[in-house]
Amino acid sequence: MSTELRFPPGFRWGTATSAYQVEGATRADGRGESVWDRFCRVPGAIENGDTGDDACQHYHRADEDVALMASLGLNAYRLSLAWPRIFPAGDGRLEPRGLAHYDRLVDRLLAHGITPLVTLYHWDLPQPLQDRGGWRDRATAHRFADYAAACFDAFGDRVRDWVTINEPWIVGVLGHQLGLHAPGERDVAGSVRAMHHLLLGHGLAAGALRATGRPDARAGVAYSLFPHTPAADTDADRAAAHGSDGYVNRWFLDPVHGRGYPADVREHWENAVGPLDFVADGDERTIAAGSDFIGVNYYTRRIVSAGRGDGPFPWKVEPGRDDVPRTDLNWEIVPDELTGLLLRLHRDHPGVPLLVTENGAVLDDDRRVAFLHGHLAAVHRALAAGAPVEGYYHWSFLDNFEWAMGYRPRFGLVHVDRTTQRRTVKDSGRWYAAAARSGAIPPWPA
Ligand code: IFM
């Protein structure tokens, strides 16, 4: 009798990338400047002075890369569109060469039986919009909805599923609070505005998708979700973990899925930055208008204790447990938390389909196989317990530009030689291909 773990028919076996991290060709075909092009020029901002100028040259090697994906038997791919390729100035003139590139890429994927999941915003804001205030300015949410509508118009006949915004919390915290990501702001109040406008942009874009009248089109956010563990089994640490969960997870999930901003987090933010007067009447209704799935980007958990340490809040993020294995970036590897997270989302937002839109690790490749195995088994347990998980997109297809850490961390199932750009499928890529082809993984533990 087989004890393999079989996934449901139609399960999406995918990988994920984002435009700035893989495309390169930042000056090709009329592409405008993005905040990341600018940020990479700030001395010391990126390890080793790396930039996305070349990245994996995916812009020029898209055919080869899609053929490689197909040869691995993958049936899904999450990619992002570069806003500055489509609207080089952020708004106004559409660049037909940018549209033509993605048009061809989408056709290529479909011709190989690979279903595209398209992200509209994976952090490469056109610099001219940043010059007008970026996400701190409400108008950016409207420009985003215009860009989204143009993409729905161009690709909506072939693309059904859209991730509007990738990881609004990370954009807020790393980009606007800590200055570690583009646009490099250190402005706590500005970060709260930015996060609100990102969600508003999502709601406006989801509304624009509805307005296309395509009944099977779906929109959702890909959230950076961190399950929380209290450091000690005390009321104080449990309250801290709940508060931090609000800051990281509920602040985004609740409004998008119709519950409005959570009162406890709103109070924390108002204590920290004053009244949230940029949340206009009706905004929460707009934000809640029409999300069709939850995109789960899961990497690790947060262990939290009471005390000060995490920005302006009364909790502290602890370093993690000694007996838990780590990735080479020192992130705890806890696949069980993914099961718990998926079940929690199913409980809190019943009926909403779930997609694991990112999961991956920087590890030597033997350990990546174990990581994949553990996390897919975790997804399987969630499915068995009733969570409606439709697919898994491994981060990442290729070793790529890991933002402020440059090219040092390698997340790919496919190795990319930085000098020759040669692609070599890793053992983990072959393992994942076997799983995708058979629709099952060996029993866990192996
Ligand atoms: O590379 C990033 C990606 O762009 C967003 N989610 C996390 C990944 C790994 O850090």
* CA-based R_g, the chain, Å: 21
Using CA positions, which residue lies closest to atom 10 of ligand 1? 402
Distance (Å, rounded) from C-alpha 446 to C-alpha 443? Answer: 6
Identify which of 427, 329, 410 has the alpha carbon closest to the alpha carbon of residue 373: 427
Helix (H) or strand (E) holding 163: strand 161-166
CA distances (Å), origin 62, targets 65, 97, 101, 107, 428 = 5, 15, 9, 11, 21
Contact 23, 59 (CB under 8 A): yes
Candidates 296, 403, 405, 413: which one to mutate for ligand 1, based on the most atoms within 8 Å of Cβ? 403
Candidates 358, 394, 398: which one to mutate for ligand 1, based on the most atoms within 8 Å of Cβ? 358
Residues noted as catalytic? 167, 358
Distance (Å, rounded) from C-alpha 338 to C-alpha 423? Answer: 30
> What separation in Å is there between the alpha carbon of 402 and the centre of ligand 1?
7
Is 263 inside any structural domain? yes
Contact 78, 393 (CB under 8 A): yes
> What separation in Å is there between the alpha carbon of 297 and the centre of ligand 1?
8
Using CA positions, which residue lies closest to atom 1 of ligand 1? 402
Ligand 1: atom nearest CA of 402 is 1
CA distances (Å), origin 66, targets 1, 69, 96 = 36, 5, 22
> What separation in Å is there between the alpha carbon of 378 and the centre of ligand 1?
20
pTM over 0.95: yes
Is 6 inside any structural domain? no
Strands in 374-418 per DSSP E: 389-395, 414-416
Structural domain boundaries, residue 397: 11-438
Distance (Å, rounded) from C-alpha 81 to C-alpha 87? Answer: 11
Domain of 211, CATH number, reads 3.20.20.80
Ligand 1: atom nearest CA of 403 is 1
Contact 318, 303 (CB under 8 A): yes
Is 56 inside any structural domain? yes
- Ligand 1 binding pocket (C-beta < 6 A) is 18, 21, 167, 297, 358, 395, 402
CA distances (Å), origin 243, targets 266, 275, 310 = 11, 19, 11
Is 445 inside any structural domain? no
For the beta carbon of residue 126, count every other beta carbon within 10 angstroms.
28
* CA dihedral of residues 146, 148, 152, 158 (deg, nearest 10): 160
Token code pair at residue 81: 């569109």
Q: What is the pLDDT along the chain (446 residues), one digit of tens a residue?
A: 468 999 999 999 999 999 999 999 999 999 999 999 999 999 999 999 999 999 999 999 999 999 999 999 999 999 999 999 999 999 999 999 999 999 999 999 999 999 999 999 999 999 999 999 999 999 999 999 999 999 999 999 999 999 999 999 999 999 999 999 999 999 999 999 999 999 999 999 999 999 999 999 999 999 999 999 999 999 999 999 999 999 999 999 999 999 999 999 999 999 999 999 999 999 999 999 879 999 999 999 999 999 988 777 999 999 999 999 999 999 999 999 999 999 999 999 999 999 999 999 999 999 999 999 999 999 999 999 999 999 999 999 999 999 999 999 999 999 999 999 999 999 999 999 999 999 999 886 66
> What separation in Å is there between the alpha carbon of 401 and the centre of ligand 1?
9
Candidates 17, 34, 297, 298: which one to mutate for ligand 1, based on the most atoms within 8 Å of Cβ? 297
Is 72 inside any structural domain? yes
Is 446 inside any structural domain? no
> What separation in Å is there between the alpha carbon of 167 and the centre of ligand 1?
9
Is 96 inside any structural domain? yes
Contact 7, 443 (CB under 8 A): no
Helices (H), 27-95: 35-39, 58-71, 83-86
Number of domains in the chain: 1
Token code pair at residue 417: 């030689």
Distance (Å, rounded) from C-alpha 206 to C-alpha 121? Answer: 13
Strands in 239-319 per DSSP E: 293-297, 302-306, 315-318
Is 443 inside any structural domain? no
Contact 182, 36 (CB under 8 A): yes
